[in-house]
Amino acid sequence: MEFIDLGRQYKALKDRIDGRIANVLGRAQFINGDEVRELAEKLAAYCSRKYCLTCANGTDALTLALRCLGVGEGDAVFVPDLTFFASAETAALAGATCVFVDVDKRTFNLDAVKLENRIRQVIAEKKLKPKAIIAVDLFGLPANFPEIRKVADKYGLPIIEDAAQGFGGSINGKRACSFGDISTTSFFPAKPLGCYGDGGAVFTDNEDYYKLMASLAFHGKGSHKYDNVRIGYNSRLDTIQAAVLLEKLKAFDDYELTDRNKIAAKYDSYLKDKFTTPLIPENFQSSWAQYTLILDDENERDNLQKHLNANGIPTMIYYPIPMHALKAFEDIKTPSEEIEVATKLTKTVLSVPMHPYLKDEEIKFISLKVLETR
Ligand SMILES: *Cc1c(COP(=O)(O)O)cnc(C)c1O
């Protein structure tokens, strides 16, 4: 059994994907081919945004967003303490200082009340300038944007939505990648919408932001390719990946997102009476990048992981170390009461296999093996 079975997905979509790739190969239009433009248009439409720019990966997407917003030295960027490293790494790479913020104990996402606390602390200390909020749609569930937006507006801060795991989720029918002043996503193969290599995208409704990010992603180009007006990057999604994503987006929209939700509901039905299953707040929808259980303590979590692995069921711990405790961030001192929840979650979470091609008997088998441990 696979944790995320990309092989099964390829089998289902093989003819269409192979045809798309062969078409690109035949035209030898490997960079900036028609598929790249078509994909950006479809992604923008899917997320109801004015602009989408595809780029090389989700990490670059964050870097483009941070550069676009002018984040740099002396700035504080507020980042959840429980996330993938890149959410914080890119802010540090831009020269800013990460201020780690605790997460909600059931949704795993940025806690808006604690966010405001941290912003007030930074203002009171007068050392850093609050500059931006990075809110992550962890495990496929959009962050609490209604509340986070209130805080952001109160302090005049832009929001970067890191939707690397969130593509396809929604709040009141409004889709992920539409909540940030700039939103970013990743097409890393294991993400809800993944390609066959690296890929990413940024989304915005602001034309100036879009133009600036398009320039940054293309060596800081001005009016043409050899008119370089700023220091930028080379960050492109190649045509083959765009071709793969056009087919995968179709399947995602046609049935995969629906199936992900059906599978999560099946897990819930087996497990919810005896285990702490994922909480999806009312009016929120997840794209189920992960299905993550919360155990009572580290010991129980580790025993469950061993039991499942012994039965051939792959599991993952997202994430084993909170951002504030990583060696790379050892210079940043975070009061322990500010990151209590994230710290506890790193010791108690366990993610089980989750992908739209999981079969009923597999969901049942995994659930029965989980149930055996309590
Ligand atoms: C995967 C991921 C990224 C980085 O995406 P890449 O395409 O691998 O660079 C950033 N943030 C989060 C939350 C992620 O899960």
Domain boundary among 247, 279, 303: 247
Domain match, 15 and 102 both: yes
Domain match, 309 and 212 both: no
Domain boundary among 229, 247, 265: 247
Domain boundary among 205, 230, 247: 247
Domain membership of residue 286 (yes or no) is yes
pLDDT in tens, the chain (374 residues): 999 999 999 999 999 999 999 999 999 999 999 999 999 999 999 999 999 999 999 999 999 999 999 999 999 999 999 999 999 999 999 999 999 999 999 999 999 999 999 999 999 999 999 999 999 999 999 999 999 999 999 999 999 999 999 999 999 999 999 999 999 999 999 999 999 999 999 999 999 999 999 999 999 999 998 999 999 999 999 999 999 999 999 999 999 999 999 999 999 999 999 999 999 999 999 999 999 999 999 999 999 999 999 999 999 999 999 999 999 999 999 999 999 999 999 999 999 999 999 999 999 999 999 999 99
Domain membership of residue 198 (yes or no) is yes
Domain harbouring 284, CATH code: 3.90.1150.10
Domain membership of residue 284 (yes or no) is yes
Q: Of 170, 177, 180, 193, which Cα lies nearest the Cα of 242?
A: 193
For 215, half-sphere exposure in the C-beta direction (CA atoms, 13 angstrom radius) is 19
Instruction: Calculate the alpha carbon distances from 314 to 140, 227, 304, 318 in Å.
Output: 19, 51, 11, 13
β pairing state of 170-171 and 174-175: antiparallel
Residues with CB under 6 A from ligand 1: 57-59, 83-84, 86-87, 136, 162, 164-165, 186, 188, 198, 200
Domain match, 127 and 272 both: no
Domain match, 230 and 263 both: no
Cis geometry, peptide bond prior to residue 319 (ω within 30 degrees of 0): yes
Instruction: Calculate the alpha carbon distances from 16 to 33, 56, 247, 280 in Å.
Output: 18, 23, 7, 34
Domain match, 207 and 176 both: yes
Domain membership of residue 1 (yes or no) is no
Residues 232 and 14: their CA atoms lie apart, in Å, by 37
User: Reduced to 3 states, what is the DSSP secondary structure of residue 124?
Assistant: helix
Domain match, 180 and 304 both: no
For residue 305, the model assigns a pLDDT of 98
For residue 225, the model assigns a pLDDT of 87
Domain membership of residue 88 (yes or no) is yes
The single-letter DSSP state of residue 126 is T
* Number of domains, the chain: 2
Phi, psi of 301, deg, nearest 5? -60, -45
User: Reduced to 3 states, what is the DSSP secondary structure of residue 174?
Assistant: strand
Domain membership of residue 360 (yes or no) is yes
Confirm whether pTM is higher than 0.85.
yes
Residue 209 C-alpha from the chain's centroid: 21
What does the CA dihedral 170, 339, 349, 330 come to, rounded to 10 degrees? 110
Distance from residue 11's CA to the centre of ligand 1 (Å): 25
Which of 66, 162, 186, 191 to probe ligand 1 with, by most ligand atoms within 8 A of CB?
A: 186
Distance from residue 186's CA to the centre of ligand 1 (Å): 6
Residues 58 and 53: their CA atoms lie apart, in Å, by 12
Residues 55 and 200: their CA atoms lie apart, in Å, by 5
Domain match, 42 and 89 both: yes
Domain harbouring 95, CATH code: 3.40.640.10
Atom of ligand 1 nearest to the CA of 61: 9
Domain membership of residue 109 (yes or no) is yes
Distance from residue 59's CA to the centre of ligand 1 (Å): 6
Q: Where are the alpha helices (DSSP H) in the chain?
A: 6-27, 34-46, 58-68, 86-93, 112-125, 145-154, 207-216, 239-251, 257-271, 298-310, 340-348, 360-371
Which of 161, 188, 191, 319 to probe ligand 1 with, by most ligand atoms within 8 A of CB?
A: 188
Domain membership of residue 115 (yes or no) is yes
What one-character-per-residue DSSP string does 179-217 give? SSSEEEEE--TTSSS--SS--EEEEES-HHHHHHHHHHT
Q: Of 213, 209, 185, which Cα lies nearest the Cα of 199?
A: 185
Instruction: Calculate the alpha carbon distances from 189 to 14, 185, 271, 298 in Å.
Output: 15, 12, 28, 29
Domain match, 241 and 259 both: no
Distance from residue 162's CA to the centre of ligand 1 (Å): 8
Domain match, 138 and 172 both: yes
Atom of ligand 1 nearest to the CA of 59: 9
Domain span including residue 106: 6-247
Residues 103 and 288: their CA atoms lie apart, in Å, by 18
For 227, half-sphere exposure in the C-beta direction (CA atoms, 13 angstrom radius) is 3
Domain match, 242 and 271 both: no
Domain match, 180 and 267 both: no
Specify whether the CB–CB gap between 209 and 181 falls below 8 A. yes
Structure tokens at 148: 């986070």
Domain match, 225 and 269 both: no
| Number of helical (H) and strand (E) elements in the chain, helices listed first | 12, 12
Ligand 1 atom 6: the closest Cα is on which residue? 58
